[in-house]
Amino acid sequence: MEVTKICCIGAGYVGGPTMAVIAQKCPHIQVTVVDLNEQRIKDWNDPDTNNIPIYEPGLSEIVAEARGRNLFFSTEVEKAIDEAQVIFISVNTPTKTYGKGKGMAADLKYIELCARQIAKVAKENKIVVEKSTLPVRTAEAIKSILDNTGNGVQFQILSNPEFLAEGTAVTDLLNPDRILIGGDTTPEGEAAINALVDVYANWVSKDKILTTNVWSSELSKLTANAFLAQRISSINAMSELCEKTGADVNEVAKAIGMDTRIGPKFLKASVGFGGSCFQKDILNLVYIAKSYGLNEVADYWEQVIIMNDHQKRRFSNKIVQTLYNTVADKKITFLGWAFKKDTNDTRESAAIYVADDLINEQAKISVYDPKVSRNKMLADLNYLESRSVEENNNAILAFDNPYDACKGSHAISILTEWDEFTAYDWQKIYDSMHKPAFLFDGRNILNAKELESIGFVYKGIGS
């Protein structure tokens, strides 16, 4: 089967960039991204591609090249489903906030709604691709819904998890470590797998395209995120021990990273991991393990989350303790609000939780982030429901440049590792601050000796 039309349900952080790259690399395939959020589709169709809703280096150029040629963004969901041979499901799968599994299990209501809509609309055989990160054996539920429509249409369910890192998503899509496709081992399943392999083979070497059964593919994504998050929590645990013993976590990380069995990646001590995937996927893994009675397995992975939460609390506590055990009415500047550099995604960002702690201590928070608006910052804080909307509004200010944000501050906290922070005139910033001027480097990106020579009281993670 030669694929000529693809539909993707969900125009978010996964669906938008993935489909843009597929459209760019496969000009012979019509790619339509659909979403019920009219404003989001409007933003994707903005004539100025610099205003598209997701910031990723290189993404606006790819969208500009393919949009209107063979890449389309639309709210006509049923039309796109009807026309497509391959349908990607790329909708949100947040952690449940209600009922059984609350706080751990993945909420699959949007996945089920997609399956039911596909079942209702489809008049011809379709390949349905799970692109969202899902619990093991979700494909079974999707197939049950699709196969019981009574209209005789045959569906093949594939698992094709994304392994993108926000901030490098375009690079990851253009030059992936691997493409993973899971499907049934039946002849029909193999044919569906091969059809999707052929799509990716337009730019990815076939030796990088791994095919498995559906269950292995679904679990591989959860496992990958769990292993990466585990490394972050591990080095952050050691950062606390370094601070007590006089060791330097950066030197420890370098020493162990030179061991080829360990390697250097994800060994940068920080205020903790954020983003939409790590916490959600580990909690999902914990829930799955508990549901099978594997309590020791569940406890092991849950500790990764516990350590991450501890690191964020430890960072905010250090700020309070260092500022003479009170930050009431003191201006604390945050440099960065996004959960990592080169993205405007703030989901589960450490900045949200550190700000929440400090506002509870009656601090005034001043923020500069090159890609995140004040409205988004307030929405993040309001979502926690720690206090009234008015209280959050009064507690946080956002600035268009870092120098204004830092002026008159008692302390600066670096919460995102934006490259531009290393190029600032730190002498100018120091001169504008209250003395003593404290700098809490939550990402360990600045030169401590240089800052201390200026006069800053520097507090890095694990040093």
Q: Supply the residues annotated as catalytic.
A: 162, 221, 277
Phi-psi domain of 230 (left: phi exceeds 0; alpha: psi -120 through 50; beta: other): alpha
Give the strands of the sheet with 179-182, arranged side by side.
Answer: 71-74, 30-34, 5-9, 86-89, 126-130, 155-159, 179-182, 209-212
How far apart, in whole angstroms, are the C-alpha atoms of residue 439 and residue 445? 12
Question: In degrees rounded to 5, what are phi and psi of residue 364?
Answer: -105, 120
Provide the edge-to-edge strand list for the sheet that holds 438-441: 396-398, 364-368, 331-335, 411-414, 438-441, 457-460
Token pair, residue 245, equals 């013993």
For helices 59-66 and 15-25, the axis angle rounded to 10 degrees is 50
Asked if 311 and 249 touch (Cβ cutoff 8 Å), the reply is no
- Nearest of 19, 20, 26, 24 to residue 3 by alpha carbon: 26
d(CA 110, CA 94): 10
How far apart, in whole angstroms, are the C-alpha atoms of residue 125 and residue 204?
Answer: 27
Distance CA 165, CA 70 (A): 25
Phi-psi region of 220 (alpha: psi -120 to 50; beta: other; left: phi over 0): alpha
Positive or negative: CA dihedral 18, 22, 24, 28: negative
**Assigned token pair, 251:** 């030197």
